[in-house]
Amino acid sequence: MIFVEMVAAVVTVVFVVLPARGVIGRNSFVGVRTRATMQDAAAWRRGHQAAVLPTSVAAGGVIVLGMTAAATGRPNDVSAVILCAAVLLAGGLWSVAVAQRAVREAPDASR
């Protein structure tokens, strides 16, 4: 089960990095979709660029926790799975906050 969390962490990073690089534009399915980031293409990209670091940190934490659980012979331990899910959720919330702040504080931000 811990491997599902690890894959989710990697997929989450991919779906933040691709919009940050301009590969995925504004859409209704993937990425940081808030009112601020969806206002225009520049806001979308700016928000995702800011969200790359917190998303990567959270994903790295999930990978380390998951590898530790697997190495200790407890890849299906409920507490490890819950901890990984909590780290991924916290990273997602952190990423949204950082993305919104980056869009709001941009010098050319239109309101």
Comparing CA positions, the residue from 28, 29, 26 lying closest to residue 43 is: 26
Question: How far is the C-alpha of 86 from the C-alpha of 79, rounded, in Å?
Answer: 10
Does position 92 have pLDDT exceeding 90, yes or no?
yes
Q: pLDDT of 11-34, one tens digit each?
A: 999 999 999 999 999 999 999 999
109 domain residue, yes or no = no
26 domain residue, yes or no = yes
Does position 111 have pLDDT exceeding 80, yes or no?
no
110 domain residue, yes or no = no
42 domain residue, yes or no = yes
111 domain residue, yes or no = no
7 domain residue, yes or no = yes
The pLDDT value recorded for residue 110 is: 52
What pTM was computed for the model? 0.89
Residue 89: both structure tokens together: 């959720």
The pLDDT value recorded for residue 106 is: 84
Does position 108 have pLDDT exceeding 90, yes or no?
no
What is the crossing angle of helices 2-20 and 41-71, to 10°? 160
Residue type, 105: E
The pLDDT value recorded for residue 98 is: 98
Q: How many domains does the chain have?
A: 1
Range of the domain at 100: 2-104
